[in-house]
Amino acid sequence: MLIAISLRPYRRYTVEVAAPFVEAGGSLVLVTDSATAPLVPYAAEAVVIAARPPGTDVSDRLHPETPAASPAAVGLVIDILTALSSASAKGAQRRLAERERLAVELGLYLG
């Protein structure tokens, strides 16, 4: 599973990494600011955080690459996804240990 965060302006390299990952059979969870973002068609799941209207926040004047989505909302989504990923990783570690045990038991590898 790949978790990608892609907010306007969308970075080319994010698409160049995520799209081939999905085409190779991986699953993409996307955090974005628009249902029409470039990676939405590739995403198994897309979390769309609504953008603020222009001129509603001082951050609009700070830098042209400042995301229109609320930083607090983006942070919350990232925190939730991190917690879910860690829980999934623990299960993956158990599955990997079981595969290794079976490989030894079945004598799959030399040496």
Q: Is residue 22 part of a domain?
A: yes
Q: How many domains does the chain have?
A: 1
Domain presence at residue 23: yes
34 and 7 Cβ atoms separated by less than 8 Å: no
* Higher-scoring residue by pLDDT: 32, 57: 32
- In a domain? residue 111: no
Regarding pTM above 0.85, the answer is no
What is the predicted pLDDT for the residue at 97?
86
Residue positions counted in the chain: 111
For tokens 């879910």, the residue is 84
Distance CA 25, CA 71 (A): 31
pLDDT at 103 over 60: yes
The more confidently predicted of residues 44 and 107 is 44
Per-residue model confidence (pLDDT) at position 63: 52
Identity at 2, one-letter amino acid code: L
45: nearest Cα among 32, 57, 64: 32
Domain that holds residue 76: 2-106
Answer whether residue 98 is part of any domain: yes
Task: Convert the pLDDT of each residue in 39-84 to its tens digit.
Answer: 999 999 998 987 666 665 555 555 555 566 667 777 777 787 777 7
Residue 53 falls within a domain, yes or no? yes
